[in-house]
Structure 1
Amino acid sequence: MNASEESRVTAASRGWRKRNESPSLPEVHQSMKVPLKGGFMRKLLAFAGPGYLVAVGYMDPGNWASDLAGGAMFNYSLLSVIMISNLMAILLQSLSARLGIATGRDLAQACRDHYSKPVSMGLWILCELAIAACDLAEVIGTAIALQLLFGIPLLYGVLITSVDVILVLMLQNKGFRHIEIMVISFIAIIILCFGVELFLSKPDVASVMGGFVPTTDIVTNPQMLYIALAMLGATVMPHNLYLHSSIVQTRKIDPSVAGKKSAIRFATIDSTVALTIALFVNAAILILAASAFYSTGHTEVAEIQDAYHLLTPLLGTGMASVLFAVALLASGQNSTLTGTLAGQIVMEGFLNLRLKPWIRRLLTRLIAIIPAVIVIGLYGEGSTGQLLIFSQVILSLQLSFAIFPLIKFTSDPVKMGPFVAPRWVRVLARFVAVIIAALNIYLLYGTFF
């Protein structure tokens, strides 16, 4: 490192109102070594993992309802919205990884160290609401999968999801790589299930390719626009930005400028590949809905349970429904693992308060389970669709409060030093942030009025 670069790194450490007192996720911080020498693929494999934990949030049960509705109602037309949403996610997650590697802070710690205490507390409360809303979608999705596969009543299924804290604790005690392997295994199950589903549904390939081209109908058709906005709101998850900025720090990297720049590059490749896989999963759900439901006139399908029961008669085999439910169960369990980590990161980052993981997980689960139990008990199992939509509305409300601080920090040369985001990235990120904020405001307006 030359004198100029060293002075810029030192300046970056002075660009915060407060000093960073402890590393993010200290029990696994820099616990995984990466090779300082070796080929490209060897280094890439060492950095592979965090991106897949992030990708889980882009294929969780909260996404399924909007994807199913979009395919059933509008055929393949909204595939372009899924693609654009994923491109936005790739950009924002790359900034999140850049922040964590360059500053040694996760996004929650960065907010705490930059903003005043009242502002920081407000951001923390909003983020906790978003995590609880995301957990609500995971609870409902897992409970629906248990009901479809094993006939367990939905109310009991919701209660069963509270015991998954044991699985999370076991994996954390064995090391972070075990969590990554578990997540990647569940993703592989989801991909396999939907690969078979697409083979059985025999979609029209030319029409599928045409669906990735945006059309003016998305804007001129109010109903299509509303579904498109719901897809966007369900795709870019605020808690993922906090999560990614932390878990990239599990790698023990070369602390020099060159070492950090290399780590940022590999972390960006990791998340880009993983989110491309998430794009396939979301597109597969919509394609399945379009080829199975739209083409047969079942355009009203929006509930996950309805899709499950219709797949067998429409595709001519009971395997279709079973694979659909298995993929849903894997999606719910995956989201549980990453939701646990996100909750821990946010609480420790904003409050500098450490709780035992099982206590933190139990608190988050109770916040999600209580409203699910009350609504299902009062209004029956048919109310789950409304609960899923409500959870996405809460996520939409919080999204901009995570995106704008992230862009602010990664665009600041004093805070980031030589790792500040390139100018074209900063301009594009600001444009994306404004678009997402405007579309989510419109989505909220449409939801309530």
Structure 2
Amino acid sequence: MDKNGKKIVSYANGPSLEEINGTVDVPQTTSFWKNLIAFSGPGALVAVGYMDPGNWITSIGGGAKYGYLLMSVILISSLIAMLLQYMAAKLGIVTHMDLAQATRKYTGKKLGFVLWIITELAIMATDIAEVIGGAIALNLLFGIPLLMGVILTIFDVLLLLILTRLGFRKIEAIVMTLILVIFVVFLYEVIIAQPNIPDMLKGFIPQKQVLHHGELTMALGIVGATVMPHNLYLGSSISQSRKYNLQDEEHVAHTLRFATWDSNIQLSVAFIVNCLLLILGSALFFGHGDELGTFSTLYNALQDSSIAGAVASPLLSTLFAVALLASGQNSTITGTLAGQIVMEGFIHMKIPTWARRVITRGLSVIPVLICTIYFGANEQALDNLLIYSQVFLSLALPVSMIPLVYFTSSEKIMGKRFKNKPLIIVAGCLCTIILTILNIDLIIETLMHI
């Protein structure tokens, strides 16, 4: 604190994502809409993680097996995501440290290293879903063999390097465009599917049936695929991309306000996309849930009239593959950035930007390559790898959530004005406890079926 009682914050081993941090100008205006436009972007990169290929099987499968029952699970997961991302953005904007930097600073070198390993595995697990989704999309659209598709995903990193040189706003614009593609594709397919609107709306009301064994397992899968740890690190870092005066509390509050608006709007889009996925599964595939365990079977089902009914067509299948490719590309960009944030923040490893991103991507591609080479063109093997990768996400989520809630609730770290209010603290603690218990259960369920 300075002599006036204001908190003075210093960088933890330099700013997070130094080539992006504080590079985007914002207008000096009181216009709400101009400010919202200027601050829009980081929320889109965060939202990508909540509608990546890892969500697709669980959401569509949930609809195909249980109809609209699990709509309430998507709603609750999205509200939790909004709360956590608000805290992540606040940590970054107020302290000018991302979650990895703050965790390392307040836990020490040894524990920080252990937490880095866990988080790195979680990011690899997340990236595995993007690699698999991208490779399968290339196979479905262009007939490219899965092994070649996996190898091609490595070059996504080169695209990110080029985009970074063009400016962070260019990355945001491309991500938002790809999100729009995904949204439009699934909105069109759901309209064509003609869902039962009253049943759909009823699904947002939690039912006791969700607690039954099969429904609960699927619900846990949806939660695990929706709330992912790497997004908390990403959100706490890219929230610092706008230029603002850290020593001016009013300016900090202004930045936090519009960062929160941006995050909540984009996460609302992610919520709608996940709802569309479940609605599509329910409207077209209800009763065929056990037949739709892979991306290829979903692709084929969309043009099979015996499953999808009269609306089945090759166009629906092609649009599905296009959306899958867009989702994989989007998640590649954000996953690679998250890997860089975690590596720099936890172990203070300073290597060239291109090397950091190649290493992060390379580590994620290796297990997919091994699986593809060993099992050949067996997509089911890749989908099993995707499911098992969720174990690491389940393990890493509490490791991310507990420090986040603690740091943002601390007056010493956040200052009196910006520390979490009592209601936020209670909500954050409840979410952490519940999700930790659910994720432990998910780990046990997954390991029991290996």
Same fold (TM over 0.5): yes
- Matched letter for residue 151 of structure 1: G
TM-score by length of 2: 0.95
- Mapped partners of 1:120, 1:150: distance in 2: 44
Would you say the 8 A contact 1:61–1:141 is kept in 2?
A: yes
- The residue that corresponds to 1:363 in the other structure is 359
Please give the alpha-carbon distance, in whole angstroms, between the structure 2 residues aligned to 1:357 and 1:330: 24
Query: Which of 392, 395, 398 is the equivalent residue of 2:393?
Result: 395
The alpha carbon displacement at 1:299 in A equals 4.7
Q: Pairwise mapping of residues 406-417 of structure 1 onto structure 2 (< 5 A)?
A: 406-417=404-415
Question: Are positions 1:422 and 2:421 aligned together?
Answer: yes
Aligned to 2:216: 225
CA contact (8 A) 1:200 1:320 kept: no
Moved more, 357-366 or 83-92: 357-366
Corresponding residue for residue 145 of structure 1:
137
Please name the residue that 2:152 is paired with.
160
In structure 2, stretches of 5+ residues that fail to align are: none
| Structure 1: stretches of 5+ with no match in the other structure | none
1:245 alignment partner, SS class: helix
State the one-letter code of the partner of 2:422: R
Answering whether residue 312 of structure 2 is matched by residue 316 of structure 1, we say yes
- The share of aligned pairs that are identical, in percent, is 45
**Partners of 2:192 and 2:137 in 1: CA distance:** 21
Q: 2: CA distance between counterparts of 1:402 and 1:223?
A: 28
Q: Deviations over 1:76-127 (max 9, x none)?
A: 1111101100100000000000000110100011011111211111111111
Letter in 2 for 1:434: I
Report the counterpart of residue 327 of structure 1 in structure 2: 323
Contact 2:124 2:363 in 1 (8 A): yes
Aligned counterparts, 1:82-97, within 5 A: 82-97=74-89
Partner amino acid, structure 2, of 1:395: L
Residue 305 of structure 2 corresponds to residue 284 of structure 1: no
Aligned residues: 439
Paired with 2:405 and 2:111, the residues of 1 have a C-alpha distance of: 17
Cα distance in 2 for residues equivalent to 1:137 and 1:77:
25
Q: What is the rounded CA distance, in whole Å, between the counterparts of 2:291 and 2:61 in structure 1?
A: 8
Are 1:236 and 2:236 counterparts? no
* 2:336 corresponding residue in structure 1: 340
What amino acid is aligned across from residue 103 of structure 2 in structure 1? C
Q: Provide, for residues 7-55 of structure 1, a one-character-per-residue CA deviation record: whole Å limited to 9, x for no partner.
A: 1414xx49xxxx6231111112111111232311111111111000000
Question: For the residues of structure 2 that align with 1:196 and 1:148, how far apart are their CA atoms?
Answer: 20
User: Which amino acid in structure 2 is aligned with residue 310 of structure 1?
Assistant: A
Q: State the TM-score, normalizing by the size of structure 1.
A: 0.95
CA separation in 1, counterparts of 2:164 and 2:313?
39
RMSD: 1.5
Hey, what's the Cα distance between the residues in 1 that align with 2:357 and 2:12?
A: 25
Measure, in 1, the Cα distance between the counterparts of 2:362 and 2:24. Answer: 32
Instruction: Tell me if the contact between 1:72 and 1:302 (Cα under 8 Å) persists in the aligned partners.
Output: no
Q: Mark the CA change 1:123 to 1:165 in structure 2 (over 3 Å): closer, same or farther.
A: same
Question: Does the 8 Å CA contact 1:72/1:300 hold for their aligned counterparts?
Answer: no
Q: Residue 335 of structure 2: SS of its match in structure 1?
A: helix
Which residue of structure 1 lines up, in the alignment, with residue 52 of structure 2? 60
Shift of 1:3: 8.3
Please say if 1:133 is aligned against 2:132: no
Counterpart residue identity of residue 400, structure 2: A
1:442 maps to what in 2?
Answer: 441
Paired residue type of 1:228:
A
Q: 1:286 deviation in Å?
A: 0.9
Aligned with residue 43 of structure 1, among 7, 28, 35: 35
Where does residue 298 of structure 2 map in the other structure? 307
